[in-house]
Structure 1
């Protein structure tokens, strides 16, 4: 019996060696990458900006070891540093429950950038205050980083957004001290026609402010996701406050006023 088993064992060994030799020599069906389709673009459609509410050291620990992550972290060092934590071709877990221009849950279609900043603090009366501006070095580093991302992925200006834009009411970052206007003047992000807005504001002050349904339609046009039934419900108020936080950070009280209507109408798609 033992003698008869030896040829079988020998055959099994030879078969195993043949398999190993095949693996060592590469795949049986290699992928040919010599042809490239013209009809394609990046899966990345959005860039979402955040603040960390923590120090650089603590932020780095949270974003690399915790349940949230971002593609980049811009530190508050002097000068600022840009740390890449997730490859741009992979999803980072930074957006959560979110919506913009009809797309939802934007982790898979966005690049997240966290900027080290303490965010808000609450006073004795429960009022929120943002007291720490972003440093010139942070904004300079962010501008350079965004230029590369926009070039690589073809990001539209209106798709460089705040976490507060895509998650109204749930998130407030990067907050009212973030310099959206300056960023747009550098060719990154979207801003409104200020001269046109001034003229329209004067008209609305004379003739009256549009109704809630108009605000809802305009908010949806520029990317937000309010209700569309003509009632000033919580979804609509959250979207309006997020819009004001981005484009009128001095006052984001959710009022359906002439200035907000004028800015909305003067904002490109």
Structure 2
């Protein structure tokens, strides 16, 4: 008799479960032709695939930029023209690749231990020549105000939707410092950070790490290498000022200290790097 009662209880429970699933299926099953998918039981262990937002310049005019990014060997999710058009009073950005697809904008790249940044990023290209070489040296081309306004609006929206961390809003030169310089020292990183887009060090913390020394005085190469690696850069840990280290430091300076991008390991560079690590990479 006990076995019969137990069996009936199990059958009753099974019936309840089956009925519960059937109810869920009424509104949560998607027909895929030869099979159906039940989305009733989403796992809590998940996050967004998109972790990084990468800024670039095209090093070409509007026409050539569009050709290269639509029919060349590279692509990006968005292209900001030199003079963005308007729609209902709002600036228009060109979407070339859907956000749920991978664009070929980062190439060989790395950040914070991750490689193949194309897989986990959204790329924004901005029409800009980059630089011109002259007798006076390399002349970097400024961005148009309208481009930066649109870039800020687009970036803020993308960051919010994917919960991208400030330290993961990056330059192409941050993730590929040995071969890229875009978006260059004319890109207004500090102004963008003031709008909540990307990272920026606190001035008081930079002053603390300067330790009263002149900003152009020599910094500690090993300390700079360690700080940049902790922040996310791929950089040698040799304690020596080798050519690769200088290139990475120059990329860092283009982002956070554009007034001097020679790649010299000075005290201000060390202080900025340590301030960024303290602000964004220290567990709370």
List aligned pairs for 1:222-261, cutoff 5 A.
222-261=231-270
Query: Offset of 1:204 from its aligned partner?
Result: 3.5
Match of 1:128 in 2: 138
1:64, 1:28 → 2: CA distance? 34
Q: Could you tell me the TM-score, scaled by structure 1's length?
A: 0.84
Match of 1:204 in 2: 213
Q: Residue 212 of structure 2: SS of its match in structure 1?
A: helix
1:31 correspondence with 2:37:
yes
List aligned pairs for 1:1-269, cutoff 5 A.
27-79=33-85, 80-124=91-135, 127-130=137-140, 132-205=141-214, 209-267=218-276, 268=279, 269=281
Query: Offset of 1:45 from its aligned partner?
Result: 0.8
CA distance 1:227–1:163, change in 2 (3 Å)? same
Q: Would the aligned equivalents of 2:78 and 2:123 in 1 still touch at CA under 8 Å?
A: yes
CA distance 1:54–1:258, change in 2 (3 Å)? same
Kindly provide the CA deviation profile for residues 209-256 of structure 1, in whole angstroms up to 9, marking residues without a partner as x: 553221111011111011112222222111111111111111111111
Query: Offset of 1:91 from its aligned partner?
Result: 0.6
Query: Offset of 1:95 from its aligned partner?
Result: 0.3
Query: Offset of 1:28 from its aligned partner?
Result: 3.8
1:28, 1:158 → 2: CA distance? 44
Count residues with an aligned counterpart.
242
CA distance 1:41–1:227, change in 2 (3 Å)? same
Range that drifts further, 86-95 or 196-205? 196-205
Q: Would the aligned equivalents of 1:212 and 1:232 in 2 still touch at CA under 8 Å?
A: yes
Match of 1:15 in 2: none
Match of 2:11 in 1: none
1:65, 1:33 → 2: CA distance? 38
Q: Would the aligned equivalents of 2:236 and 2:244 in 1 still touch at CA under 8 Å?
A: yes
Q: Would the aligned equivalents of 2:77 and 2:123 in 1 still touch at CA under 8 Å?
A: yes
- Please report the RMSD computed on the Cα atoms of aligned residues, expressed in angstroms: 1.9
2:57, 2:41 → 1: CA distance? 42
Q: Would the aligned equivalents of 1:204 and 1:262 in 2 still touch at CA under 8 Å?
A: no
Query: Offset of 1:29 from its aligned partner?
Result: 2.5
Q: Could you tell me the TM-score, scaled by structure 2's length?
A: 0.80
Q: Which runs of 5+ in 1 are unaligned?
A: 1-24
Q: Residue 204 of structure 1: SS of its match in structure 2?
A: coil
CA distance 1:172–1:153, change in 2 (3 Å)? same
Q: Would the aligned equivalents of 1:157 and 1:190 in 2 still touch at CA under 8 Å?
A: yes
Q: Would the aligned equivalents of 2:221 and 2:240 in 1 still touch at CA under 8 Å?
A: yes
Q: Which runs of 5+ in 2 are unaligned?
A: 1-30, 86-90
